Structure 1
Amino acid sequence: MSFASLPIEQRIPNLLRHCTFEQLKQVHGFLISSSLAQHPALPSLCIRRAAELGKTEHAELIFFSSNPPHILQWNALIRGCFQSGQHKKALNLFHEMLQRGLTPNEFTYSDIFASCGALEECEIGKKAHCRALKAGFDLIPLVAISLFNLYAASSSLVDARKMFDGFSMKAIGLWNKMMSLYVGIGDILSARKLFDEMPERDVVSWNTMLSGYVRVKQVDKAKNLFQEMPERNVFSCTVMVGAIADTGDLIGARRLFDEIPERNVVSWNCMLSAYTRRGRFKQALDLFLQMQSFGILPDGFTFVSALTACAHLGDLKTGKWIHWHLIGNWLCFGAIVGTALMEMYAKCGDIDSAFRIFIKTAKKDVFCWNVMIKALAIHGRGNDAFQLFASMRKEKLQLNDFTLMSVLFACSHGGLVEQGRQIFESMEREFMIKPRIEHYGCLIDLLCRANRLEEAYQVVKEMPYRPDILVWGALLGGCRARNDTTFAEKVMEMIQDVDENGSGVYSIMSNMYAASNQWSEAQRTRERINDRRIWKTPGCSSVIDASAI
């Protein structure tokens, strides 16, 4: 029998499943005029469809036109609210249903538990669970699955496991979900025990266990499991690429990456990120250009890695090419790509373009502000950086220790001594941030640059941290600015106890002796570098071959 030849009451459910709101109103009008509305099933479908379309008021209009509403109509309105994301309203309807003395059925409980899970309302869900238990609905698979999902979404692992153990027949998806809950909290032993107990496994089972080992940095076990996998997909391989790269074996990670038969953008991003995190910026940029030749569409994470590589290489030309030819309207990617663009321009010397990007970025996060403040300071625009900090405070953003470090750096490089001291002294009192040794280092550098060497030394003596090589280096820099070799020698005596590599401070001291024509002292200081086996990182420059771009 064709669909057209079916009775109208049998055709209406299919029509309502895909109709627009205007069509829904026509169908409902027909039901009223033809007396089909007296049957509770058809109006309940109208209620559900109206709620699914987001027309809750119209759904309630149909609902309350029934006197009294049938259980089917209560369920339809609750289901519609759940499916349209109005979870709170679904719970309110359930409460009202109980107040009216109505008895929910398995379909009611299934949607209520799903709404509780979406809202992570575990306590409300537990109360509903007690009602379902008394009514005997908790044994019905539809309800039990919803309960399991509720406890899983609410991170109530003990309750989720009780529900899991209560299933006489467990689908493979249920095993996988229970295992992923253990992986999510880092309980790899329980996850592995469950994995070994599974009567059958699919690729999701293997990937979940693999992700668990990688999550807790058990890379050797991850490698062994990866070798045992009967079937691997792009997810499996990408997870292993990241795990191998995290151990520092970029060659092994790249070898596996090249073996992935069908790489997606996540795979490329994983390898790109591995290169940038390990400081292999040239390899990252080469890989990004290779990605373009394969026709892979980049996303925001791709651009962040590529722009980070450009920033550290000082490759403004490639950075501009990525900006104008690939990203285009970067605003659609949000603050993450905007901040990467800003940092690229700033590190490549184009601070004006960086500031234009900053102004255009709509929803700036704290990191975005921090980067711009630091960039302005590095480019000698300390006053602009300080004004930006004042604007940031007006925005009522939650400042962090990096914000204060950036503004102290700006004050140091802009000669804003009093402003810098005031900010440092107000860190704990006003911003509730305890100064770290890096903040003390910025303050000491600020005072030394202002030729207030004695004050800086007093800060070193009073700070609650053991001075590191950077602190002593800042103090020694102040001695060099004043050409005070006596004070510098005093500082050098205290540096002897520092275990860190301090080639820079010995070079400063040697140059100070040389500037004072104390050549023998300069030579002895240089010899100390060899005697103490202190290494000095040689300077280097990068040259970009424009023909290769």
Structure 2
Amino acid sequence: MSTTATNFPSGLKPLEFSTESTSKLSQKKVLDILNKKCFNSLQHLRQVHSIILRTGHFQDHYVSGTLVKCYANPHFNNFALAIKVFDQIPRPNVFVCNIVLKGSLENGEPHEAISCYQKMVLLNSKPNKFTYPTLFKACAITGSVKEGIQFHSHVVKHGLSDGHIKSAGIQMYTSFGLVKEARRMLDERGETDVVCWNAMIDGYLKCGEVEEAKDLFGCMPYRNVGSWNTMISGLARCGMIESARTLFNDMEERDEISWSAIIDAYIKQGCFKEALEVFHKMQREKVKPKPYSLPSVLTACANLGALDQGRWIHSYVKRNSFQVNAVLGTALIDMYAKCGRLDMSWEVFEKMRVKEVSTWNAMIGGLSIHGRAEEAIELLKKMQEEKLKPNDVTFVSVLNACAHAGMVESGVALLNSMNRVYGIEPKMEHFGCVVDLLGRAGLIKEAEKFIESMTVKPNAAIWGALLNACRVHGNVEVGEKVGWILLDMEPRNSGRYALLSNIYAKAGRWDDVTRVRKLMKDRGIKTIPGSSMMNLDGRVHEFKMGDGSHPEMKSIYVMLESIMEKLQIKGYSPNTSIVSFDIEEEEKETALKQHSEKLALAFGLIRTEAGTTLHIVKNLRVCEDCHSAFKLISQIYSREIIMRDRVRYHHFRNGMCSCRDFCANRLVYQSIYLS
């Protein structure tokens, strides 16, 4: 921008003063206009910039610095213009330089901050205590170890002693993994406040030095709530969830962050039920959740199928007039989709003013797990029309949708278009989706050829998709070969043993079944027990095969017998072929009857009124027998049953399933001891 400009840019509406009066504007008036009128209006900012040049106020560092600050507003997304203005300021002082340093981070340009400091040194502009915290953060982001150490030496040289500088330096060193250097900085002379101690504890925990963190926490001269929160979050990050919960319980005073920290801790460990229990306790203690903590709770609701709690949170957001930003809106979309309410997902999606790529991905992913492949593809096209570029996750969801709908041609076409149309290089996850797509359609040879043609070495997920297809379509020859490849690649993955065992069992090769199970036993591999959950009256009820711990189990088994009798009248016959044990038929039928999803269904029929929709969440795939039974049960009892298994949703209604039996006929059935 020319420093000689004196007129307003054409086509812009002037501010409340006339051009004739601009020469009389004082510094105070100019600053007032900059701060009140220009911070969110680039048009007004350019007008005032012209006035500043005309009146000579540009020589005033306080005015020119404020002007740079306005241009550096991330809202304008034009930080290069701020730098251009900065470069025109004659001998900028530390006030101006600090504004550029801060703006560099706010605009995602940390390298620019380091460059700006180099200019400060050349101009002999002496830094102050506000300079170095920003520089330390920039070095941490960019991994600039050498520069970070130099900045630390400059802090010592200038004799700056400030808690903000020290805490930022500690965070920088620990981000490099230089824990000893961080501790030396903590122990240096000068101001050391509780924030510095907290930063050191956080650094220890991020570097996995748990005992050092505990020792430092124990000898702190003063702790605040943040100290406890740091320990809780750090221990959880290290996988020590029980220790984190013990600390949480020992806290005499908790803030909203404390509750959020322990909820996040449980969610990161996959303990969604426990996370929701903590949230309920939080409510009982009258602690009002803040907007930033709600996405985590919604994640727990999504994974548990806890629709009632999810709807309560949505209602809470509305009652408190919280802004549904991209993060919260995406969490709501995901929650409703995973709780079986795709209509509510659509409603939230349509009402959101600002949608990020993650928001579109959540909606496309919801359509995918509900088998709405055509709509998922249409949303991908609409995303392109909105000038929003899809990413890797987008295509994983769309390709999965094609796989579950049997849309082979569309799926392959999408893979081929990723690089050509969208400029995205397909990754292993996308190749895995296509192998799954071909395998589900029974195109085993084509899937093998596709794997051979891949430019990258196939990983366990690729071979697993092919093994699934072999199990579904009874291809023992290929399945055996792939199965043993997987047992070498993932000797601790119980699911691989189960699938290979199932392939042998379906072929009647019981000696090989015994060989696989013996190998599991020798290696100490434990299977993942199948479990199903149902959320009723604000409580999550969990059921496992052979587990009689539920207080209403006697009534559940009575209801199961009644269900079986009615099923038999309708012509139902247990599909014992999926049981991979060499046992009597009667034992197989008993085992099938006690699958966790059937127990959950019986409980739901007991505890809900006629006509109520039943929601069930299972951690594994639904088996063929349960799939067939649920279709008939939906007709017999005039109930809609919505089941989410490990991969997708099944909506059972009037004797039909939303998957149109595509998944039922091609499911990768888990063996009976997994169900």
TM-score, normalising length from structure 1?
0.76
Whole-angstrom CA distance in 2 between matches of 1:415 and 1:160: 59
Alignment of 1:86-485 (within 5 A): 98=90, 109-120=93-104, 121-122=112-113, 123=115, 126-131=118-123, 133=124, 138=126, 144-145=128-129, 148=132, 151-152=135-136, 155=139, 156-158=147-149, 160-168=151-159, 170-326=161-317, 328=319, 332-463=323-454, 470-479=461-470, 481-485=472-476
Instruction: Kindly indicate whether the alpha-carbon contact (under 8 Å) linking 2:57 and 2:64 is maintained by their aligned counterparts in 1.
Output: no
Q: Equivalents in 1 of 2:415, 2:72: separation in Å?
A: 48
Kept in 1: contact 2:229–2:258 (CA 8 A): yes
Deviations 1:308-360 (A, max 9, x none): 11122122222222222455578713122222222222222222222222222
Structure number with higher relative contact order (C-alpha < 8 Å, ≥ 6 residues apart): 2
Other structure's SS at 2:366 match: helix
Structure richer in helix, relative to its length = 1
SS at match of 1:213: helix
Judging changes above 3 Å, is the alpha-carbon distance between structure 1 residues 481 and 310 closer, same or farther for their aligned structure 2 residues?
same
Deviations 1:159-218 (A, max 9, x none): 533431232463455444444443454433322112222245221221222222223232
For residue 490 of structure 1, report the CA deviation from its aligned partner: 5.6
CA contact (8 A) 1:47 1:76 kept: no
- Residues 189, 495 of structure 1: alpha-carbon distance in 2 compared, 3 angstrom cutoff: closer
Aligned residue in 1 for 2:60: 74
Q: In structure 2, do the counterparts of structure 1 residues 175 and 358 end up closer, same or farther at CA, with 3 Å as the change threshold?
A: closer
d(CA) in 1 for partners of 2:398 and 2:538?
40
Q: Do the aligned partners of residues 209 and 51 (structure 1) sit closer, same or farther apart at CA in structure 2, a change above 3 Å counting?
A: same
* Deviation per residue, 1:128-158 (Å, 9 max, x gap): 5434x3xxx74xxxx5446546755654535
In the alignment, which residue of structure 2 is the partner of 1:10?
none
Q: CA deviation at 1:48?
A: 4.2
* Residue matched to 1:9: none
CA contact (8 A) 1:473 1:505 kept: no
- Could you report, residue by residue, the CA deviation over 1:211-256 in whole angstroms, capped at 9, with x for unpaired residues? 2222323222111111110101111111100111122222210111
Query: Residue 79 and residue 48 in structure 1: after superposition, are their counterparts in 2 closer, same or farther (change >3 A)?
Result: farther
Letter in 1 for 2:206: R
- Distance in 1 between residues matched to 2:209 and 2:461, nearest whole Å: 35
Q: Deviations for 1:245-268, whole angstroms, at most 9, x for unmatched residues?
A: 122222210111122232222211
Hey, what does 1:506 align to over in structure 2?
A: 500
Against the structure 1 CA distance between its residues 505 and 128, is the aligned structure 2 distance closer, same or farther, given a 3 Å change threshold?
closer
Q: Secondary structure at the residue paired with 2:451?
A: helix
8 Å contact kept, 1:476–1:508: no
- Extract unaligned runs of 5+ from structure 1: 1-20, 99-103
CA drift of 1:288 comes to: 0.6
The answer as to whether partners of 1:213 and 1:219 remain within 8 angstroms in 2 is yes
Counterpart amino acid of 1:508?
N
Find the aligned partners of 1:486 and 1:148 in 2 and give their Cα distance. Answer: 65
Name stretches of at least 5 consecutive residues in structure 2 with no aligned partner: 1-14, 39-44, 74-78, 105-111, 140-146, 541-675
Deviation larger for 240-249 or 181-190: 181-190
2:533 maps to 1:542:
yes
Q: Distance in 1 between matches of 2:30 and 2:201?
A: 45
Aligned residues: 487
Q: Higher strand fraction: Structure 1 or Structure 2?
A: 2
Letter in 2 for 1:527: T
1:342, 1:357 within 8 Å by CA — same for their partners in 2? yes
Contact 2:337–2:366 under 8 Å retained in 1: yes
CA offset digits 1:35-85 (Å, max 9, x no partner): xx9xxxx954455445444477679869966xxx699x8245336546767
Partner-residue secondary structure (3-state), 2:347: helix
Cα pair 1:405 1:442 within 8 Å, conserved: yes
Query: RMSD over aligned Cα, in angstroms?
Result: 3.8
**Does the 8 Å contact 1:90/1:112 carry over to 2?**
no
1:290 Cα offset (Å)? 1.1
CA 1:511–1:335: 2 relative to 1, 3 Å: farther
Aligned-partner SS, 1:542: strand
1:53–1:389 distance in 2 versus 1, CA, 3 Å: closer
Question: Does the 8 Å contact 2:62/2:96 carry over to 1?
Answer: no
Query: 1:90-147 CA distances to partner (integer Å, 9 max, x unpaired)?
Result: 987887674xxxxx7xxx623222233234455455445434x3xxx74xxxx54465
Q: Which amino acid aligns with 1:475?
A: L
Q: Whole-Å Cα distance in 2 between the matches of residues 537 and 346 of structure 1?
A: 25
**Residue 45 and residue 503 in structure 1: after superposition, are their counterparts in 2 closer, same or farther (change >3 A)?**
same
CA contact (8 A) 2:248 2:258 kept: yes
Checking the alignment, whether the CA contact within 8 Å between 2:476 and 2:504 is kept in structure 1 is no
Aligned equivalents of 1:178, 1:376: Cα separation in 2 = 46
How many angstroms apart in 2 are the aligned matches of 1:86 and 1:443?
Answer: 45
Q: Report the CA distance shift for 1:288/1:483 in structure 2 as closer, same or farther (over 3 A).
A: same
> Retained in 1: the 8 A contact 2:256–2:289?
yes
Q: Say which is worse superposed, 154-163 or 210-219, in terms of deviation.
A: 154-163
1:397 to partner: Cα distance: 2.9
Which position in structure 2 is the counterpart of 1:101? none
The range that moved more, 320-329 or 239-248, is 320-329
Larger gyration radius, structure 1 or structure 2: 1
The 1:261–1:63 alpha-carbon spacing in structure 2 relative to 1, beyond 3 Å, is farther
Would the aligned equivalents of 2:167 and 2:199 in 1 still touch at CA under 8 Å? yes
Query: What code does the residue aligned with 1:212 have?
Result: G
Structure 1 position 287, deviation (Å) = 0.5
Is 1:531 the counterpart of 2:492? The answer is no
Q: Alpha carbons of 1:148 and 1:424: their partners in 2 closer, same or farther (altered >3 Å)?
A: closer
Contact 1:366 1:399 in 2 (8 A): yes
Equivalent residue of 2:535, what SS?
coil
Between the aligned partners of 2:480 and 2:164, the Cα distance in structure 1 is 70
Q: CA deviation at 1:283?
A: 0.9
Alpha-carbon shift at residue 412 of structure 1 (Å): 0.9
Measured in 1, the distance between the counterparts of 2:484 and 2:120 equals 72
CA contact (8 A) 2:71 2:82 kept: no
TM-score normalised according to structure 2 size: 0.63
Measure the CA separation in 2 of the matches of 1:61 and 1:467.
64
Letter in 1 for 2:64: I
Query: Contact 1:180–1:208 at 8 Å: present in 2 too?
Result: yes
Alpha-carbon distance between aligned partners in 2 of 1:496 and 1:470, rounded to the nearest angstrom = 12
Equivalent pair of 1:376/1:382 in contact (CA under 8 Å): yes
